[in-house]
Each structure stands twice: as C-alpha cells, then as structure tokens.
Chains A and B, each alone.
Chain A
Amino acid sequence: MKICCLVKEVPDAAVQKRIDSNTKRLDRSGEKNLNPFDTHGIEAAMQIREGGNAQVDEIVAVTMGPESAVRALHKAVALGADRSVHLTDEALAGSDVCATGYALAKVLESEQPDLVLLGQQSDDGECYTIGAVVADHLKMPSLTQVIKIDVADNKLTCERQAEYGYDTVEVELPAVISVGDAINEPRYPSLKAIMGAKKKPLDTHATGDVGIEADHVGEDGSKTQVLAINPPPTKEPGEIIEDEDTNETVEKIVAWLDERKLL
C-alpha cells in the first residue's frame, strides 16, 4: 500500500497573520512551519505502517507551494515520510480552493496512491474542504474530520463526529481521508531523522509535468474573487486581569460576577 500525505507550509503560529491589501492574498512573509494539523496525517500513516494490518510500502509527502515549501517537506520526511513531491510553479500562485484541489489531484494522480491522508484544516486558510475536493477529482470515496482509522482487507473503518453524534463509516480503498487532531499525538522527530531529511528523494514538478492545464489554476483559473477586505465590526474589548495573586484575582472575579447579579 502506498500512502500520500498532503502537507502545507503555513505561517508559524506566533506570526501575526494579515492580508496584503494589494494582492488580496495572505501575506506569507515571516517565519513558517509545517501545518500542525498535517502532522496528525503523517502520524496516522506511520501508525498504519506500524500497526501490522496492512503492508505500507511507501509514505510520500506531497505539497503544492513556493520554493520555500521544501522545508515543510523536510519536516514531513523527518516525521516519517520516505520521500516527497513538490508541485511548484508561478502559474499556481493565487489559486482558490477549486483550483488548488484540482492541481493537488493532478499531482496525486501521477503517484497513484492507495490512501491519501491530510489534516482537518490548514492553520492559515481554514477551509476544511481540500480533501473532499481532491477526492472527487480522483474519483475516490472520502471522509473528513476522522478521529479513528482501522485498516483491514483493503477497507478502512473510520469514526468521526458529525451533526448528530459519532458516525462509523466503512470506506473502500483507494480513499482520501482528512483526520481530526484527536486522532493521535504526533511523535517528535529524532535528531537523526531531522539531519537525514534533506537526503531523502524529493521530486519537483511544474504544472506541465503532471498534466495540469494552466488556465485551470492560479488567479485566472480561480472561480472566486476577493472583492473587498473589511475589518470586523468593532467590539468593546473585554477587561483583562493577569493572575499574579490568585486570592486577589478571585476577589475580582467574584466582584465582577456580583455586579452582574450572577451569583
């Protein structure tokens, strides 16, 4: 079985994210990191490999993004992927969900995976949808927000929470699964794995290499347009208390509750 893990490079959690008002895109300057939600996808792949119910021949990390995104691939490899694939091309810049899903499906098609895993969301875009877009292009069944995967007989038994409680769903392979962050506790990479990551095979593709039609991607190929960016309605900022002396803090809380007749 071959597992492809979709990963993304995102601004580091500590970076104050903002939209560039000229390009109307996320300002991607500053420190970057592997999308933390994707580390759960890689860990899920590792656990399937180590679980013994399926033979995993290869785990491949796949990303689409600018040159700098190789760092996310190196991190993915340090966490357990055997090699990685980088789709990078100027033509892809400004792709929306529709165009990104199409492009990722094309690069995945060239890998013919039995299972595609990805995180429940990207830390920056927060779209929750890429897995399901990719799946339909690949003509594979899919499920998102999965918090438990059991593998047996070329089938997955998955659990996830939906509108009415927990669903248990059987999914035939090949399939695309986005995993929730409760599925596992990602391991820390060993120093050796971090050092060795840059030596693992990395294939770089441009759009033409994987049959992506240029007019389907990038800003021109996108089906949505950002027309305006506005600040949210202003709200009175709440009062903030730093807890230094807890007895004092608690007194203040009780006074606050009292004032509002909540006790």
Chain B
Amino acid sequence: MAGILVYALHDDEGNFNKNSLGAISEAAKLAGELGTEAAAVVVGDVSDDGAAGLGAYGAKRVFRAKDAPEGLAQPIVDVMAKVISDEGFSYALFGGGLLGFEIGAGLTARLNAGVTMEVTEVKVQDGKLVAERPVLQDSAIVDVGYVGEPGIIIGRLNAFDANAGDGGSAEVVDVEVELSDWSTKARMVTRGEQRGADVNIEDAEILVGGGRGLGEKDNFKLAEDLADAMGGAVAATRAVVDAGWYPYAAQIGQTGKTVAPKLYLAAGISGAIQHKVGMQNSENILAINKDPNAPIFEFSDLGIVGDLHKILPKLTEAVKARKGG
C-alpha cells in the first residue's frame, strides 16, 4: 500500500490543528488521484472518537501511539518511521507550523529520504507526487520530485484547506512503538504558555501590525494610537513577541494567528515569509518601512518608504481629523 501518511497535531485539550486537518484533506485528494490511501498518525491522549473523526477529512486509517508524548518531534519520528516502514507508505505530509518541520527533518535522516519544505502545492506527475516550493523570498517556484521512497512534504502555513466531508469514520489502529534512546532525552516542562495579555485580533476589520522597526516596546503606543483612531486593533511579528514587547495573542504568522482584515497596516515589519503567510489574504495591505528593498513592498497595495516615527503620529492626527470632521 503506497499511501500518504499525515501527522495530525493536537493541543492539550485534544483539538486537532487546522493545518493538520488541511494536510489530511490534501492527502486524501492526492491519494484519490494516485489510487492509494491517506492515513494519519496521532500520538498521546487521543480518544477513539477523536481519532476516528479524522475520517471526515479523508483519513482511511489512523495510527495511534498512546504512549508517545505529543509536542516534541523525536518520539513522533520514531512512531512515523515505524508506521512508514511496516505499512510501506510512500509519502509523509505535514501541514504548516513548526513541529512538522522537525518531524519531517528527523524522518529525512532516519529513512534517508528526500524532503521539501514550505510547499504551497502538491501535484501528481507520472504517478508520483511533485511538490511546488517558493524559494528566494518567493521570487521563484521550484518543482521538486523525489528519488526513491518515502518522500517528505512539509506544507507552508494555510497551504492546504481542511474539508470535512461526509463524516465517514477512520479505522483506528493502536501501535506500540519503542522510543529511541535519544528521543527520551528531551522532556516537555510546560507547553503552550501564553505570554502577555489575551488580546483579540481576529475580529478586527482593521489591524495595525507592529514590528521590530518600532524600535522599542514603548513605541507600540504609536501603533495603538493609530489603531484606536481607526477603530482597529494592534497585531505583531514574532520578533517583537519573542522580545517581550507585545503579547503572543497578537502575533500573526506561522506560529501565531492567521487573519484577513479589510486593512492590514504594517509598520516597521520586513515582511518575512513566516509573517506573510498569516496576513497575505488581507483585503488591503499598506506598509510603512524605511528600507525600499523590504520584502513587504512585494505584496503591499500601498507602500510608504519612510520613517514610521515621523509618519505614524501625523497619520493618527489626520485620521482623527478626518473622522471628526
């Protein structure tokens, strides 16, 4: 059975990750074209119903390793390597995020397999899968094929849409896996800590995104004043969240939120791919950046090359005046 195996990530409450569900739907679609099976792997505490429920997205079987911990890559590499070898899967597919990168990389070493990451599309060519991967800041797209099996495909965030179909349930297969010695040498102390205030950015129609270009934590006030004047909320990049300048709940991107407001106003944000994937579907993108070569200008509708410290305060005043009058 030359199928496609997907890793389905879940949080501590047992909710599956949207990008994992998307990867299952994508695998099911591709398996249909290849005339083969899509299956999923889950680890840790996943209920029978939870596992079987992945059938709705297109998984025929779900391999469950109850004893392997969720959240760290290497135990999952052990599980997936065993399932791939025992069952003869030809491809492993991951939705966008972080853990999939690490698991896919581990499998590459373990199974001497080819890997492609940041994949935006997968197609069938001559009975094999070919991955499309944007490279060099999305300035070119390469088609990557695999030599031998399995082939490892790591998707970009939001590349694959989750489609809950007719609610068919998957066969749940419990697997026992002996973890490698080195897989047990990393231990989760706390998982998914929410740093900073719990802010809501998903419902805002206007978002002012602040990045490292703001210069320091206190300067987020410039973004907040503008957002207040416009009736919107403030979002942030990982760089400033990691630095402790702004709450994680406001972060957009690969390991943050995905938004599509009417306006995304990026101030002092370079436009790295991992940020872009979380906001590129905004209806209007306005960027203020002092570097004319900043990647953000490649995908903004209006780009202002200039110093945000000069522009933001005046813009806030002008918006207030316009709204007041």
Q: Do chains A and B interact in one complex?
A: yes
B197 within 8 A of A: no
B273 to chain A, nearest CB (A): 7
B279 to chain A, nearest CB (A): 14
B302 in contact with A136 (CB, 8 Å): no
With A225-B147, A253-B302 in contact, do A136 and B106 touch (Cβ < 8 Å)?
Answer: yes
A249 in contact with B311 (CB, 8 Å): yes
Cβ–Cβ < 8 Å partners of A258 in chain B: 322
**A 190-206 to B, binary, CB cutoff 8 A, 1 in contact else 0:** 00000000000000000
**B 150-184 to A, binary, CB cutoff 8 A, 1 in contact else 0:** 01001000000000000000000000000011110
B74 in contact with A136 (CB, 8 Å): yes
A181 in contact with B136 (CB, 8 Å): no
Cβ–Cβ < 8 Å partners of A260 in chain B: 263, 284
Category for how many chain A residues contact B = 35 or more
Cβ–Cβ < 8 Å partners of A250 in chain B: 311, 314-315, 318
Most chain-A CB neighbours within 10 Å: which of B102, B115, B134, B192?
Answer: B102
A89–B134 alpha-carbon span in the complex (Å): 29
A152 within 8 A of B: no
B192 in contact with A170 (CB, 8 Å): no
B193 in contact with A238 (CB, 8 Å): no
A235–B73 alpha-carbon span in the complex (Å): 37
A163–B73 alpha-carbon span in the complex (Å): 13
A193–B71 alpha-carbon span in the complex (Å): 42
A19 in contact with B304 (CB, 8 Å): no
B304 in contact with A133 (CB, 8 Å): no
- Closest-by-CB residue of A relative to B131 is A224
A165–B287 alpha-carbon span in the complex (Å): 27
A96–B109 alpha-carbon span in the complex (Å): 12
- Closest-by-CB residue of B relative to A11 is B136
Which B residues from 44 to 80 make CB contacts under 8 A with A? 71-74, 77
Interface size on B, residues (CB 8 A): 95
Interface residues of chain B: helix, strand, loop or mixed (majority): mixed
A26–B136 alpha-carbon span in the complex (Å): 9
Interface residues of chain A: helix, strand, loop or mixed (majority): mixed
- Closest-by-CB residue of A relative to B300 is A238
**A 113-135 to B, binary, CB cutoff 8 A, 1 in contact else 0:** 00000000000101111111111
With A223-B114, A228-B143, A231-B140 in contact, do A241 and B319 touch (Cβ < 8 Å)?
Answer: no
A127–B105 alpha-carbon span in the complex (Å): 10
A162 in contact with B192 (CB, 8 Å): yes
B303 in contact with A137 (CB, 8 Å): no
A254–B323 alpha-carbon span in the complex (Å): 11
A180–B305 alpha-carbon span in the complex (Å): 28
Which B residues from 231 to 250 make CB contacts under 8 A with A? 238-239, 241-243, 248
Cβ–Cβ < 8 Å partners of A136 in chain B: 74, 77, 105-106, 108-110
B221 within 8 A of A: no
Given A139-B181, A260-B284, 5 additional A-B pairs, CB 8 A: A24-B142, A147-B242, A227-B143, A238-B285, A240-B297
**B 185-225 to A, binary, CB cutoff 8 A, 1 in contact else 0:** 11111111111000000000010000000000000000000
A253 in contact with B286 (CB, 8 Å): yes
B106 in contact with A132 (CB, 8 Å): yes
With A162-B71, A223-B148, A232-B138 in contact, do A101 and B193 touch (Cβ < 8 Å)?
Answer: no
- Closest-by-CB residue of A relative to B306 is A243
With A169-B188, A229-B142 in contact, do A240 and B109 touch (Cβ < 8 Å)?
Answer: no
**A 145-180 to B, binary, CB cutoff 8 A, 1 in contact else 0:** 101000000000100011111111111100100001
With A101-B108, A129-B117 in contact, do A225 and B145 touch (Cβ < 8 Å)?
Answer: yes
With A132-B106, A172-B185 in contact, do A139 and B114 touch (Cβ < 8 Å)?
Answer: no
Cβ–Cβ < 8 Å partners of B113 in chain A: 98, 223
Q: Which of A19, A105, A166 is within 8 Å of B136, CB to CB? A: A19
